[in-house]
Structure 1
């Protein structure tokens, strides 16, 4: 039986990855912050004995966790992933998202010094690294130009992973994941804010949504598809870097069209307000990824398209309200 350690196991991607690995017959361990992460959705997935108290900012706790679970694979999904939060808390975001990745890499390096490739490492990189995109479609060779403290921290973690791979012979891969959503997405993210808002408006529980810039375009996929790409990267003989994306961009207006349309509201403009408080100081106007390398090398392709994703999220929130 293979063993995996997941940081950020209680987040959207961590939950989907846990389900995926358990179905593959893995023993799954998770790193849970001593600050107290909610583990409710993990009930029935991972036994309490497989959760370890630790923190990406604490190298000693990472070393201790590696000794306890002796993983074959480590998936670093842990981060402070809210872009808006990163503008107000740049230092904390840099510490957890950037330096946290370095701490994990160093812990694995020290733990496997005599056999550097024994533990395979996945680092969750992000399309936010492209920021002010320098190409119409972004791939693994596109220049990185982050436009938020979160994006900058992810660039640091990304290049540090490559550096450890090249310097120490570690089997460390990065997945440059474009926006990926699901019913498990946190309510602080715009997609879930919309799906929840539409469900509540439909049920008569609220009368409007307040959003920021609704003209930005993103490459949106389904998180359940994207965790398979993470796993496939660690099954390769050689580590590498891969863009994971659908190859199509849509605006928030498009998301609103589909979400409101799903409940029979064709004109959503009376229900949506814009507020500068929800706009970024430095905006990322449009990103769209080229995942042809992932398709060619990993055999990976997304299975859920944009309209299916929006319908899935709205249906979930309708069932809640």
Structure 2
């Protein structure tokens, strides 16, 4: 008998890749999105007729309860959040409501109406913030450095609390930065690859960025959603760090991105102080040993391949607006 999965935030980067994965595995997939006058379904357009799209909001307890009660999912993946770090400083209360308390609301709905469901919470490497050890693993203390990260710490610990208090199958994946051509334009990786594509096509001449020395552990979102699913297939619920175990600077990302279209980044990148964070997170590096040993997860896409794929995608997206006449040669 096929399983049923509920994905909150299905229209986001991770949600769309996870929906694809679950469909391949024969699941019936329900995905939530927030009501909007013009809903953004771009990332799930190609599978829209294969999944059940439902309107829901992590701020609305009764809505979540009704949804869980009617669907009776085997697995629930909570990927919805206010997930952009800079916005969390300008809207800290809203971020706390969605990214923190929203987790508790969903867990409450499951506890009362479908307690046998397995639950996945999208925790974040940003919880480590001002890191107290490198690399970061499941036992590394949290030191959040943004309202977003603080809210994620709440979501993480409330998941642990429900697991221990109510014997629920509840897991958290502490995911390090994961990117793809579906990443939102507000995130630095996609800002870079889109900027490169615009410069390549003659639509812009410069790209304004903040701290090029920040180091991140970047992986491919498609690899990371596979880890989410694997966690919920394990015999016992637990929390896992998901990362590549490699770190790269923003500068390295920029060099590879411009190099993919044969451009010199130093001729186009401008450092702009307004893009520096009020409290910087300088180095994030995950140790995914536990996930590898527990259920054999390994990332498949390399950093270089990830950057190349993102640039190629953005170059192709903007080809119709190009002011160039030469053949597109993105790697």
Secondary structure of the residue aligned to 1:43 is helix
Cα shift at 1:79: 0.4
Secondary structure of the residue aligned to 1:234 is helix
Cα shift at 1:131: 0.1
**CA deviations over 1:211-264 (Å, ceiling 9, x no partner):** 111110000000000000000000011000000000000000000110011111
Q: Is contact 1:259-1:310 (8 Å) kept?
A: yes
Query: How is 1:1-321 mapped onto 2 (pairs within 5 angstroms)?
Result: 1-35=2-36, 37-47=39-49, 50-112=52-114, 116=115, 118-265=116-263, 267-321=264-318
- Normalising by structure 1, what TM-score? 0.96
**CA deviations over 1:251-278 (Å, ceiling 9, x no partner):** 000001100111112x311201111211
- Normalising by structure 2, what TM-score? 0.94
Structure 1: gaps spanning 5 or more residues: none
RMSD across aligned C-alpha pairs, in angstroms?
Answer: 1.1
Structure 2: gaps spanning 5 or more residues: 319-331
Output the CA distance in 1 between the equivalents of 2:284 and 2:21.
28
Q: Is contact 1:147-1:284 (8 Å) kept?
A: yes
Cα shift at 1:284: 0.1
Q: Is contact 2:13-2:43 (8 Å) kept?
A: no
**CA deviations over 1:263-305 (Å, ceiling 9, x no partner):** 112x311201111211110000001000000000011000001
Q: Is contact 2:12-2:43 (8 Å) kept?
A: no
Cα shift at 1:55: 0.5
- When residues 271 and 100 of structure 1 are mapped into structure 2, their CA distance, relative to the original with a 3 A threshold, is same
Aligned residues: 316
Match of 2:324 in 1: none
Cα shift at 1:40: 3.2
Q: Is contact 2:43-2:182 (8 Å) kept?
A: no
